[in-house]
A and B are shown apart, each in its own frame.
Chain A
């Protein structure tokens, strides 16, 4: 199903509500954060949208569906209430806010920015609670339980325990040779997957013990043979299935693949989308997979214009057992 009223510019992130399988939040380069009800009408409907001064780079849901967060190129982290339309600025970074995520354990919004800091905000006060300098620009963050994964430039990955943000819990180097694109935590809190600009996905585990680390692996994906040459596309998006723990990857080639991280198998590959995949999200019940597709991010070109017609949000209803891993 194609979601109606897509953003007018490239999609930067999209996420289903962790409580409602029909609430979809989409941030876009058109400087808005859009909230959709995917279940309304034939093509769903846009409930509301709220603006930033510059393109929005990430968005997420807060404690309830009435709390939406977003961060953008305008350095701001914002809180938005879709009911009232009230907009609050949670705080400011000194650089574009690349990635935000909400941790339910400490009820804090975590934002990572190109200004080399990770900051925590309390959405209730609302104010910035802490600021944690990092060695590099933050490219992606993801959190589960008490764990926070911060993927940065220069392939460095820091793991934090959100209860003790003073020191990184583990400092790691990405297992991938190229720049990290996205990192996502497993729903079971065991580990995380990361993807790079060079068609690879790595699956790693939090546990620093040797046997756990032995289980980590990386695989190639999102490659296409063109004229006898394997063209390697960036893997822009990752999303874990909340029920089965399998995950989907979306690449610059416009392909979404479903993987079983435990069995190290590809479950399926969906039909190619007309443009590069920008973001992926599973609904909380695992019934839907939202795919944000827009051109402009296939090859890292800085000139990437994004014609509005290429911007599409597709919500895929998964069949019975679709996305279920082997042996589950």
Chain B
């Protein structure tokens, strides 16, 4: 091999340059082959592609190799090819180690190859270059009688033993070889002689192990294999130098108690059923390298709940005192959420933050004292009013006599105080005065005590007629007078009641749920000048006179409201009512706290306890506007026609022939309902007479659309584009335009509904799976719809079985072994396609998404970014429906990841958001993809978390390194994302270079600032989309931005946007800040770009590179990025 026979001499300069990258081989390397391989290095991408193709060919060949006479031959070729073409030895690309392992294991039990020199050579190659325990491996071969008749085996084994200073054993091996008559004996004898000569000069050390190199397997032991390696050298003194021998997995662990320790290492998968009953040699497999060293790799575990023991930290000597505390301190009823910061002990705040920072009101936080006061019913009392009432002796006089004055000193001193509770004016009745800013209403007083609430529930628990009979009411008011004074907070609850329960009850009735806000009313109202005495009196009079009337009302009221409160009194009848009123939100109307939308900004001081409701998919991120009601027909409101801005005006030539024109017409007729006023069409552009610009642009030949301002999503505009495309869309591979209608949508929808129902009820008739056939020139294609996987209101996505592929696969199984031709043909058919694919059913149909996706993939070419665009296979366009055949990825979207994190890491114990390192990784993927797309003039236009499919290809650990590689090597290019839903994509090359877009749909915070402010935009749409996705990943909620006026002042351009959320302290705030700054203010960064225009590729790349660098440096901290990704893979798989 070393001698290169072929004539042309090889320039060693080429090789010289690369010599560090060439793994030396004992057999030497072909210089020519090396030069060939290395000269191709100029274009590594191409080379890698070629090699990958070749590898794939080999793999394919291997699959069918079992049918060959000499299946091993394929392996040999594959290995030698790999060795030759990957001079750097084992790497991710070559997968040499993996290959050798596979090859050697494959034929382990094939008698045919046991003494095949090629096979043994392969083993030796593996052992010499890659095995971590070469001596074990040789012993293993011996046990399996591999190479027992080959001198090669004995020579190599002896050489190894000699090299590690086991000369006695080496002697033994040579002798054994000669005894076994291994071929060629002569060479073996010669080698042995040479060895003996060396031995004379250098006799074995005295302390050298003397145990036999290969132990004879005793039958009894062979039948009951033990934990330790039985092969060579497991004598006690041997254990030490090679501890790996212990870690050898044993598939048949019939353990003896004495060797129980070994059981620790036994493979968990080997259930009891795996007990070997068959005769074995006792050493079934040596295991791959990874397998053997698996104990050395830490299994990734969630960090949650783990405590890192702090060393040296002086522990508070709390142990004993804890016990004391438990008995004397009231047990905390509140167990707060535990927050964990990586690297620190988890923390739990002893304080009930929910109480301190009330969520359901706009009120300020509450201090302990306030809460206590609330608890004691002393909060929100208008003391001024009380005191004034004190003065109003006249009113009080009658009452005073009946007051049971408590024996408190100070009460004797003080004049009696009556609690006044003034009912709110009747118009307010039944309404929740949540905001309570109605200062102009009469001063309202709430006396809110436990006793009062008890009383209310007492009332509720009473038979209804009791309170409605007049007699009862009287007795009621009696009680009212009796105890009206007792506002103290001491515990004589029993006899205490309110002087005006009626009013109180009503108050409560109104406000039970929003009690706190009612109090807050007070805080607010207190600012208002207190009403004069007469006011108070008046109110009081009103109360006394109206009592009866109100009471009746109350009775009715109760009756109504009982249903609402119905749980409460049953559970806690009249006993101590929980003062956690705040916790029992039961306002009957508009009660929806847990369903707060994510972007419903809470007051800044209260957002510490965000709701942990999972984000739900917002398929329609642009709420249909009144102006564009046609959302029933178009997927997004923007996809509407804007005839005003089209040059050709009403006379749009039909781009797709008659059919499309028909559909276009139908679309127009359907979707331009009269409820859209004509003038509305123009409205968004009213301020900017776009039409005026057009004639100028007309002259330019190049772009299809010459407008300087337009709505890129406009349907008519797209139709125009499609028509002018060159080459036309029809020539695109996989694009099929069908005449006539297809009329399958209804059937498919019906089916998917039926399936959904079936899942729920497990009954119902079996609905036949709808099959859709597309007849095309080359045989057509056929799909069987399986189920709905994506719910878009206007473009549902279905999982479908590609019948062609399914048939081909089945055919393949049936095919005669010799029919290589038919085989090859089938293989060709299968290329690139999968049995299960996704079908996006659009109606009304539009070829747009297909066009953009194809263009994206084409323009990205062979680059990493192209992996991140979901492959599109076919497009079938009918008059009424469109079918887009896409690859199927079953791992969900980024949104799923976010929601998984939300559940998985929900407080207590977690943060509810994804790990920063994972966010960083996905952000890099996103940035790279978008950067590349932008550089090639493609805008996605609808970037959001649910439009990014997860692309975590399943990789064995051998081919995927724990260390993140920014160049995608070592398996990292197999992990990423796939963008979908290019339905709103924009091809910038079709437009004038200085084009500016205008959005005509109603915008929200998920839209970029330019859109929201009705300014023109281009790439900003994607930048903002990116920012939104990354924000959602980081914080678990939708993005919200604020504008800061820039230093220069004036003009919208000077404005600077930033997100309102704040980063966690331990995050890489610098990176994130920079990222969001670029994404939200791309205009600032255009200076560095070519022509001073967007896209801001350079700025993006800079940020991305910073992130990649950080990832490479920090990917192995804690669980590690790989661990996180692995875990997510598991979660995503489980999700289904």
Known pairs A54-B383, A198-B349; A98 contacts B316 (CB<8 A): no
A178 CA to B408 CA in the complex, in Å? 39
A269 contacts B371, CB within 8 Å?
no
Cβ-defined partner of A155 (8 Å) among B373, B408, B417, B605: B605
The contact string, 1 if C-beta is below 8 Å from chain B, for chain A 69-84, is 0000111100000000
A43 CA to B110 CA in the complex, in Å? 96
Known pairs A232-B348, A297-B372; A179 contacts B356 (CB<8 A): yes
The contact string, 1 if C-beta is below 8 Å from chain B, for chain A 239-253, is 000000000000011
Is A2 part of the binding interface, using a Cβ–Cβ cutoff of 8 Å? Answer: no
Q: Who on chain B is nearest to A140 by CB?
A: B367
Is A229 part of the binding interface, using a Cβ–Cβ cutoff of 8 Å? Answer: yes
B315 contacts A225, CB within 8 Å?
yes
Known pairs A51-B413, A232-B349; A302 contacts B365 (CB<8 A): no
Which of B286-294, B321-329, B736-744 touches A?
B321-329
Is B345 part of the binding interface, using a Cβ–Cβ cutoff of 8 Å? Answer: yes
A206 CA to B608 CA in the complex, in Å? 29
The contact string, 1 if C-beta is below 8 Å from chain B, for chain A 197-237, is 11100000000000000000000000111101111111010
Is A303 part of the binding interface, using a Cβ–Cβ cutoff of 8 Å? Answer: yes
Most A Cβ at <10 Å: residue of B381, B413, B526 = B526
A255 CA to B381 CA in the complex, in Å? 34
Besides A57-B369, A98-B367, A253-B350, 15 new A-B residue pairs in contact (Cβ under 8 A), listed by A number: A92-B384, A115-B526, A153-B364, A153-B365, A178-B349, A179-B357, A228-B345, A228-B346, A229-B348, A232-B349, A254-B329, A274-B329, A298-B350, A304-B375, A305-B330
Q: Is the interface of A mostly helix, strand, loop or mixed?
A: loop
B369 contacts A224, CB within 8 Å?
no
Contacts of A115 in B (CB 8 A): 523, 526-527
Cβ-defined partner of A74 (8 Å) among B345, B376, B383, B578: B383
Known pairs A12-B369, A51-B409, A154-B605; A303 contacts B375 (CB<8 A): yes
Which of B203-211, B331-339, B591-599, B987-995 touches A?
B331-339
Known pairs A229-B345, A295-B329, A297-B372; A153 contacts B367 (CB<8 A): yes
Contacts of B409 in A (CB 8 A): 51
Contacting residues of chain A (8-31) with chain B, CB-CB under 8 angstroms: 10, 12, 29, 31
The contact string, 1 if C-beta is below 8 Å from chain A, for chain B 789-828, is 0000000000000000000000000000000000000000
Is A116 part of the binding interface, using a Cβ–Cβ cutoff of 8 Å? Answer: yes
A154 CA to B363 CA in the complex, in Å? 11
A274 contacts B328, CB within 8 Å?
yes
Is A55 part of the binding interface, using a Cβ–Cβ cutoff of 8 Å? Answer: yes
Q: Which 8 residue pairs spanning A and B have beta carbons closest together?
A: A51-B410, A94-B526, A302-B375, A302-B371, A75-B383, A274-B328, A300-B351, A230-B347
A236 CA to B351 CA in the complex, in Å? 12
A301 contacts B329, CB within 8 Å?
no
The contact string, 1 if C-beta is below 8 Å from chain A, for chain B 572-612, is 00000011100000000000000000000000010010000
Contacts of A304 in B (CB 8 A): 330, 371-372, 375
Contacts of B578 in A (CB 8 A): 303
Is A310 part of the binding interface, using a Cβ–Cβ cutoff of 8 Å? Answer: yes
The contact string, 1 if C-beta is below 8 Å from chain B, for chain A 273-284, is 011100000000
Contacting residues of chain A (283-308) with chain B, CB-CB under 8 angstroms: 295-305
A31 contacts B410, CB within 8 Å?
yes
A178 CA to B607 CA in the complex, in Å? 11
User: What are 28 residue pairs bridging A and B, where the CB atoms are less than 8 Å apart in the complex?
Assistant: A53-B414, A95-B523, A96-B379, A116-B527, A136-B364, A155-B605, A178-B608, A179-B357, A199-B349, A224-B316, A225-B316, A225-B345, A226-B322, A230-B346, A231-B350, A233-B350, A233-B351, A255-B316, A276-B329, A295-B329, A299-B332, A299-B334, A300-B351, A300-B352, A300-B356, A302-B580, A303-B578, A305-B330
Q: Who on chain B is nearest to A76 by CB?
A: B383
Known pairs A95-B523, A224-B316; A137 contacts B332 (CB<8 A): no
Is B276 part of the binding interface, using a Cβ–Cβ cutoff of 8 Å? Answer: no
A225 contacts B318, CB within 8 Å?
yes
Contacts of B368 in A (CB 8 A): 181, 197, 234, 236, 297, 300
A300 contacts B355, CB within 8 Å?
yes
Cβ-defined partner of B383 (8 Å) among A53, A116, A199, A236: A53
Is A36 part of the binding interface, using a Cβ–Cβ cutoff of 8 Å? Answer: no
Contacting residues of chain B (1066-1093) with chain A, CB-CB under 8 angstroms: none
Contacts of A231 in B (CB 8 A): 347-350
A310 CA to B355 CA in the complex, in Å? 24
Is A192 part of the binding interface, using a Cβ–Cβ cutoff of 8 Å? Answer: no
A137 CA to B524 CA in the complex, in Å? 11
A114 contacts B523, CB within 8 Å?
yes
Contacts of B364 in A (CB 8 A): 136-137, 153-154
A298 CA to B352 CA in the complex, in Å? 9
A53 contacts B367, CB within 8 Å?
no
Q: Shortest beta-carbon distance, A273 to chain B, in Å? A: 9
Q: Who on chain B is nearest to A310 by CB?
A: B328
Most A Cβ at <10 Å: residue of B579, B605, B608 = B605
Q: A residues engaging B (CB < 8 A)? A: 10, 12, 29, 31-32, 51-55, 57, 73-76, 92, 94-96, 98, 114-116, 136-137, 139, 153-155, 178-179, 181, 197-199, 223-226, 228-234, 236, 252-255, 269, 272, 274-276, 295-305, 310
A73 contacts B378, CB within 8 Å?
yes
Contacts of B365 in A (CB 8 A): 153-154, 179
Is B307 part of the binding interface, using a Cβ–Cβ cutoff of 8 Å? Answer: yes
B325 contacts A274, CB within 8 Å?
yes
Is B957 part of the binding interface, using a Cβ–Cβ cutoff of 8 Å? Answer: no
A252 CA to B351 CA in the complex, in Å? 9
Contacts of A236 in B (CB 8 A): 368
A137 contacts B523, CB within 8 Å?
yes
Cβ-defined partner of B316 (8 Å) among A53, A269, A305: A269
The contact string, 1 if C-beta is below 8 Å from chain A, for chain B 764-800, is 0000000000000000000000000000000000000
Q: Shortest beta-carbon distance, B328 to chain A, in Å? A: 4
B523 contacts A303, CB within 8 Å?
no
A297 CA to B352 CA in the complex, in Å? 11
Q: Who on chain B is nearest to A220 by CB?
A: B347
Q: Shortest beta-carbon distance, B357 to chain A, in Å? A: 8
A12 CA to B409 CA in the complex, in Å? 21
Q: Shortest beta-carbon distance, A212 to chain B, in Å? A: 24
A116 CA to B528 CA in the complex, in Å? 12
Q: Shortest beta-carbon distance, A90 to chain B, in Å? A: 14
Is B505 part of the binding interface, using a Cβ–Cβ cutoff of 8 Å? Answer: no
Is B900 part of the binding interface, using a Cβ–Cβ cutoff of 8 Å? Answer: no
The contact string, 1 if C-beta is below 8 Å from chain A, for chain B 1041-1083, is 0000000000000000000000000000000000000000000
Is B374 part of the binding interface, using a Cβ–Cβ cutoff of 8 Å? Answer: yes
Q: Shortest beta-carbon distance, A12 to chain B, in Å? A: 7
B307 contacts A228, CB within 8 Å?
yes
Q: Shortest beta-carbon distance, B361 to chain A, in Å? A: 13
A96 CA to B380 CA in the complex, in Å? 9
Contacts of A254 in B (CB 8 A): 325, 329
Q: Shortest beta-carbon distance, A9 to chain B, in Å? A: 8
Q: Who on chain B is nearest to A57 by CB?
A: B369
Most A Cβ at <10 Å: residue of B333, B372, B373, B580 = B372
Is B370 part of the binding interface, using a Cβ–Cβ cutoff of 8 Å? Answer: yes
Known pairs A179-B367, A229-B348, A232-B349; A301 contacts B333 (CB<8 A): yes
Q: Who on chain A is nearest to B409 by CB?
A: A51
Contacting residues of chain B (278-330) with chain A, CB-CB under 8 angstroms: 307, 315-316, 318, 321-322, 324-325, 328-330
Q: Shortest beta-carbon distance, B474 to chain A, in Å? A: 31
A295 contacts B367, CB within 8 Å?
no
A267 CA to B378 CA in the complex, in Å? 40
Cβ-defined partner of B526 (8 Å) among A53, A95, A233, A234: A95
A66 CA to B414 CA in the complex, in Å? 23
Known pairs A55-B373, A96-B369, A114-B523; A198 contacts B351 (CB<8 A): yes
A302 contacts B355, CB within 8 Å?
yes
Cβ-defined partner of B347 (8 Å) among A52, A95, A229, A310: A229
A98 CA to B372 CA in the complex, in Å? 12
Contacting residues of chain B (411-433) with chain A, CB-CB under 8 angstroms: 413-414, 417
